[in-house]
């Protein structure tokens, strides 16, 4: 079965071709069938791949399959080939699974939209690109997938391109991404220059041998690669595109900006764990940026009123958690959180989409409320997802987040872990604020819309329910057994285990089991406290938040306006660039270059108009000119 790995990639691509090129001749039913069916086959194949992988013993779980050579030029060879190991098998399962669910959801959500088949073509293309990214076995192919998901993100964010804000958001996403991709590209070039090859296995085996631990080269490589991850996974300072990306359809936000594309950066760092383990400076950088982003984004989410923006900042914050895990060396924990986050964040977005859809496009929470009675299924799935996000036992998020915080505590000490715990508190607060504002209390919905509120159609509800189930039970693959390991950790261990003696692993301070359980209890109580506080603020005393905002107006404004970062970037970067370009256009190109060309032409014209007057047509004038010329010649010889 492992030989047929290309099936996973082929079918989504087929879906793109059929839906993209022949949509005019197909019925809506057929489009649905093709797009969902191809992803379904992909998902099925992923399952079979996982199964085949599990048949092998842990040491053998690394399989490479080459399809065909792509570039052969002198010494440089680039092959289209795939790597199947626990990490990539897990990723394709998550990607194809969540993608499949979201495709089904989209059938209901995008009903009646003008660009229906275009949407599904883009969605299939995105799935294909993401699968390519995680399946490739060399940096070049991953880079292709990396760029392709960026492209699809642009296409899908700006899907309703006739809206100015949507196309602007698409551009912003692509451009900010590009800045990260620039670093990423430089990193890959540096890898090639150092190792003369781009194949993962080759690079990871040679790195400990030919590069010094903590040396400049390896630090440079890892930092550059991380720059790409910063852009793609929306960390500080390149996160500004993600909140604006909410202009796209909600299923797009769910798939791309919650579950899959933004996790590409996390995947990449995890994949190149060997290189990062050799560069402690980069690991620190990853950890620092991760934890700072986590608390920063969570603080902004506290004051936002747009339901999707809250979820966007929540995504940024959770990605920060994942990078925090990677930064301290807990790679398996980071990937575990990636998986659980995919489930509950996708669910959160899809459920929010259900609410938005029913309210006719309304996204402002200030205009919602009291939806609990009208949309019960949506409400309950929302609750499940929120509990998972907040990290409440026994839902998925509890296990993954707790594992991260424990690893941080053990390997880095109380300060960093403390920031993580505060962020967990903020997380549960803002997500339950969202729930209470949307579903509880007096309905603040506009009169006209109130008649149309009822539950969404099944095609939307079933995906919600499926994801809710997963959010509930997915955590159990990570339950720590008494010995300190867990199923998923053990499964992923071979990937991160490419240890050669010289690689240093951050020291694990052994603590007793009792401390671990105590830690678990604390990390459970903090979010619960957050829920209670949110309840008090938004259900018991609804006037309290407003009073608080009036008491500390500066702080409220700062959070509400996202720390004015967008304005800051505009001032520092965007406007100077625009003005420079404007200067070069108006000042230089038009004035100087066009002026030069035009003036030369008109100069010649004026000159010729002057000199043509010599041709009078009178013979006597010409005779006179001849005499003059003759005199000149004589004068020359005379005075020599």
Q: How far apart are alpha carbons 407 and 404 in whole angstroms?
A: 5
Rule CB under 8 A: choose which of 24, 447, 551, 613 binds another protein.
613
Q: How far apart are alpha carbons 268 and 279 in whole angstroms?
A: 16
Angstrom distances, CA of residue 612 to CA of 304, 566, 598: 76, 63, 21
Only one of the segments 204-212, 303-311, 397-405, 610-618 lies at the binding site for another protein (rule: CB under 8 A); that segment is 610-618
Q: Does 518 bind another protein (CB under 8 A)?
A: no
Rule CB under 8 A: choose which of 112, 162, 618, 640 binds another protein.
618
Q: Does 73 bind another protein (CB under 8 A)?
A: no
Q: Is the peptide bond before 394 cis (omega within 30 degrees of 0)?
A: yes
Comparison of 454 and 612: residue with beta carbon closer to another protein: 612
Q: Does 71 bind another protein (CB under 8 A)?
A: no
Q: Does 617 bind another protein (CB under 8 A)?
A: yes
Comparison of 476 and 622: residue with beta carbon closer to another protein: 622
Q: Does 482 bind another protein (CB under 8 A)?
A: no
Nearest approach, Cβ of 638 to another protein (angstroms)?
Answer: 6
Rule CB under 8 A: choose which of 27, 57, 73, 615 binds another protein.
615
Q: Is the peptide bond before 107 cis (omega within 30 degrees of 0)?
A: no
Eight-state DSSP code of residue 136: B
Q: How far apart are alpha carbons 267 and 255 in whole angstroms?
A: 16
The terminus-to-terminus CA distance of the chain in angstroms comes to: 101
- Interface with another protein: number of residues (CB under 8 A): 18
Only one of the segments 1-9, 202-210, 532-540, 608-616 lies at the binding site for another protein (rule: CB under 8 A); that segment is 608-616
Comparison of 175 and 631: residue with beta carbon closer to another protein: 631
Comparison of 547 and 612: residue with beta carbon closer to another protein: 612
> What character string, x for contact with another protein (CB under 8 A) and - otherwise, covers 554-593?
----------------------------------------
**Element at 68 (helix H, strand E):** strand 63-73
Helix axes 458-473, 376-390, angle to 10 degrees: 30
Place of tokens 């301070």: 509
Q: Using alpha carbons, select from 426, 418, 428 the residue that is nearest to residue 397.
A: 428
Q: Using alpha carbons, select from 99, 67, 62, 95 the residue that is nearest to residue 80.
A: 67
Nearest approach, Cβ of 612 to another protein (angstroms)?
Answer: 4
Comparison of 69 and 629: residue with beta carbon closer to another protein: 629
Comparison of 551 and 612: residue with beta carbon closer to another protein: 612
Only one of the segments 278-286, 449-457, 468-476, 623-631 lies at the binding site for another protein (rule: CB under 8 A); that segment is 623-631
Only one of the segments 137-145, 235-243, 269-277, 616-624 lies at the binding site for another protein (rule: CB under 8 A); that segment is 616-624
Comparison of 29 and 613: residue with beta carbon closer to another protein: 613
Encode 22-38: b = buried (16+ Cβ within 10 Å), e = exposed: ebeeeeeebbbebbbbb
374 — phi, psi (to 5°)? Answer: -85, -30
Q: Using alpha carbons, select from 228, 48, 217, 47 the residue that is nearest to residue 133.
A: 228
Only one of the segments 24-32, 374-382, 492-500, 632-640 lies at the binding site for another protein (rule: CB under 8 A); that segment is 632-640
Q: How far apart are alpha carbons 346 and 501 in whole angstroms?
A: 41
Rule CB under 8 A: choose which of 114, 164, 483, 612 binds another protein.
612
Q: Does 636 bind another protein (CB under 8 A)?
A: no
Please state, as a whole number, how many other Cβ atoms lie within 10 Å of the Cβ of residue 141. Answer: 22
Nearest approach, Cβ of 614 to another protein (angstroms)?
Answer: 8
Of residues 29-68, which lie at the interface with another protein (CB under 8 A)? none
Nearest approach, Cβ of 178 to another protein (angstroms)?
Answer: 59
Length of the chain: 640
Only one of the segments 96-104, 166-174, 316-324, 620-628 lies at the binding site for another protein (rule: CB under 8 A); that segment is 620-628
**Element at 266 (helix H, strand E):** helix 264-271
Comparison of 66 and 621: residue with beta carbon closer to another protein: 621
- 3-class DSSP assignment, residue 361: coil
Q: Does 640 bind another protein (CB under 8 A)?
A: no
Only one of the segments 452-460, 508-516, 591-599, 615-623 lies at the binding site for another protein (rule: CB under 8 A); that segment is 615-623
Nearest approach, Cβ of 604 to another protein (angstroms)?
Answer: 16
* Structure tokens that stand for 34 in this block: 């093709």
Q: What is the 3-state secondary structure (H, E, C) of 393-413?
A: CCCHHHHHHHHHHHHHHHHHC
Only one of the segments 1-9, 157-165, 571-579, 626-634 lies at the binding site for another protein (rule: CB under 8 A); that segment is 626-634
Comparison of 216 and 630: residue with beta carbon closer to another protein: 630
Only one of the segments 96-104, 312-320, 465-473, 622-630 lies at the binding site for another protein (rule: CB under 8 A); that segment is 622-630
Q: How far apart are alpha carbons 123 and 174 in whole angstroms?
A: 17
Q: Does 606 bind another protein (CB under 8 A)?
A: no
Nearest approach, Cβ of 602 to another protein (angstroms)?
Answer: 19
Nearest approach, Cβ of 635 to another protein (angstroms)?
Answer: 7
Q: How far apart are alpha carbons 188 and 197 in whole angstroms?
A: 10
**Residues contacting residue 538 through CB under 8 Å, at least 6 positions apart:** 432, 433, 436, 437, 440, 441, 545
Q: What is the 3-state secondary structure (H, E, C) of 211-225?
A: CCCCCHHHHHHHHHH
Of residues 108-167, which lie at the interface with another protein (CB under 8 A)? none
Nearest approach, Cβ of 616 to another protein (angstroms)?
Answer: 5
Please state, as a whole number, how many other Cβ atoms lie within 10 Å of the Cβ of residue 441. Answer: 16
Q: Does 24 bind another protein (CB under 8 A)?
A: no
Contacting positions for another protein (CB under 8 A): 612-613, 615-621, 623-624, 627-628, 630-631, 634-635, 638
């Amino acid at each position: 079965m492992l030989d047929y790995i290309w099936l996973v990639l082929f079918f989504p691509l087929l879906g793109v071709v059929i839906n993209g090129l022949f949509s005019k001749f197909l019925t809506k039913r057929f489009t649905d069938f093709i797009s969902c069916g191809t992803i379904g086959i992909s998902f099925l194949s992923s399952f079979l791949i996982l199964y085949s992988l599990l048949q092998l013993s842990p040491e053998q779980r690394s399989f490479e399959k080459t399809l065909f050579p792509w570039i052969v030029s002198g010494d440089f060879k680039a092959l289209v080939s795939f790597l199947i190991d626990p990490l990539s098998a897990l990723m394709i399962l998550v990607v194809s699974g969540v993608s499949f669910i979201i495709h089904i959801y989209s059938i209901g959500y995008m009903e009646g939209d003008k660009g229906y088949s275009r949407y599904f073509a883009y969605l299939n293309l995105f799935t294909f690109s993401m699968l390519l990214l995680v399946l490739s076995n060399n940096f070049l192919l991953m880079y292709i997938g990396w760029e392709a998901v960026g492209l699809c993100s642009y296409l899908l964010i700006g899907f309703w391109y006739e809206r100015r804000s949507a196309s602007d958001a698409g551009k912003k996403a692509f451009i900010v991404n590009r800045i990260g991709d620039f670093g990423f590209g430089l990193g890959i070039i540096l890898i090639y220059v150092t190792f003369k090859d781009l194949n993962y296995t080759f690079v990871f085996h040679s790195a400990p041998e030919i590069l010094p631990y903590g040396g400049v080269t390896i630090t440079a490589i890892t930092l550059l690669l991380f720059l790409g991850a910063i852009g793609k996974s929306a960390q500080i300072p390149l996160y500004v595109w993600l909140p604006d990306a909410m202009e796209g359809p909600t299923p797009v936000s769910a798939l791309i900006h919650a579950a899959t594309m933004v996790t590409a950066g996390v995947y990449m760092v995890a994949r190149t764990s060997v290189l990062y383990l050799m560069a402690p400076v980069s690991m620190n950088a990853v950890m620092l940026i991760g934890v700072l982003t986590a608390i920063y984004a969570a603080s902004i989410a506290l004051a936002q009123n747009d339901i999707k923006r809250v979820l966007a900042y929540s995504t940024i914050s959770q990605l920060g958690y994942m990078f925090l895990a990677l930064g301290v060396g807990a790679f398996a924990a980071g990937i575990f959180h990636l998986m659980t986050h995919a489930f509950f964040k996708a669910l959160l977005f899809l459920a929010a989409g259900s609410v938005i859809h029913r309210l006719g496009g309304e996204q402002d929470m200030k205009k919602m409320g009291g939806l609990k009675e009208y949309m019960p299924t949506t409400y309950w799935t929302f609750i499940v997802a929120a509990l998972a996000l907040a990290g409440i036992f026994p839902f998925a998020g509890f296990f993954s987040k707790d594992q991260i915080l424990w690893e941080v505590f053990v390997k880095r000490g109380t300060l960093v872990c403390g920031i993580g715990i505060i962020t967990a508190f903020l997380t549960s607060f803002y997500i339950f604020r969202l729930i209470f504002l949307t579903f509880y209390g007096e309905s603040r919905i506009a009169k006209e819309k109130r008649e149309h509120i009822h539950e969404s159609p099944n095609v939307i509800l079933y995906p919600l329910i499926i994801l809710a189930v997963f959010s509930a039970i997915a955590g159990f693959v990570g339950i720590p057994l008494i010995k300190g390991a867990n199923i998923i950790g053990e499964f992923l261990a071979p990937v991160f285990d490419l240890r050669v003696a010289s690689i240093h692993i951050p020291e694990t301070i052994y603590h007793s089991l009792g401390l671990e359980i105590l830690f678990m209890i604390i990390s459970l109580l903090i979010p619960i406290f957050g829920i209670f506080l949110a309840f008090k603020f938004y259900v018991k005393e609804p006037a309290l938040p407003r009073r608080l905002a009036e008491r500390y107006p500066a702080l409220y404004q700062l959070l509400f306006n996202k720390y004015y970062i967008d304005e800051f970037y505009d001032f520092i970067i965007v406007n100077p660039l625009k003005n420079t370009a404007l200067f070069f256009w108006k000042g230089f190109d038009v004035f100087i270059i066009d002026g030069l060309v035009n003036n030369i032409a008109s100069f010649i014209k004026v000159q010729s108009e002057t000199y043509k007057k010599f041709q009078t047509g009178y013979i006597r004038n010409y005779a006179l000119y001849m005499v003059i010329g003759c005199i000149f010649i004589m004068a020359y010889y005379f005075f020599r």
